[in-house]
Amino acid sequence: MTPIKKSEKWKNCLEILSYDVFDIIPSAEQEEILKKTQSNNVKGIVWLDESIILNNGVINKEEEVKIGHHTKWTIEMKHSK
């Protein structure tokens, strides 16, 4: 959960952002389906390693993936300003 802060999206609005993070335990069938999403371009699913997430989606000078502000928190498990 974030502290109360000014919204980046809505002017003159304060907000608290709260996120639930779940660890999934897929069945063997679900695991195979997830693995296929890594090799196929599936709209809405992006697989990133920890270093890219901690770098806020920056892969290199020419390539960047748009990720939510909260994505980094799933690794750090704390809000960072």
Residue 10, in any domain of the structure: no
Does residue 19 lie in a domain region? no
Can you tell me the mean pLDDT for 34-48?
86
- Within a domain: residue 68? yes
Query: Per the domain annotation, does 16 fall within a domain?
Result: no
> Is residue 12 in a domain?
no
Query: What pLDDT does 52 receive?
Result: 93
In a domain, 15, yes or no: no
- Decide if 64 contacts 55 (C-beta within 8 A): no
65, exposed or middle or buried, with CB in 10 Å at 0-12, 13-18, 19+?
Answer: middle
Report which of residues 77 and 12 the model is more confident about.
12
**pLDDT higher than threshold 70 for residue 62:** yes
Q: How many folded domains does the chain comprise?
A: 1
Per-residue pLDDT tens digits for 17-35: 888 878 889 999 999 999 9
Task: Give the range of the structural domain holding residue 62, as residue numbers without chain letter.
Answer: 25-81
pLDDT over threshold 60, residue 4: yes
Q: Give helix then strand counts, H and E, for the chain.
A: 3, 2
The structure's pTM equals 0.65
CA distances for 36 relative to 17, 23, 32, 48, 65, angstroms: 32, 19, 6, 15, 20
Query: Which pLDDT belongs to residue 31?
Result: 94
Rounded to an integer, what distance in angstroms lies between the CA atom of residue 36 and that of residue 74?
23
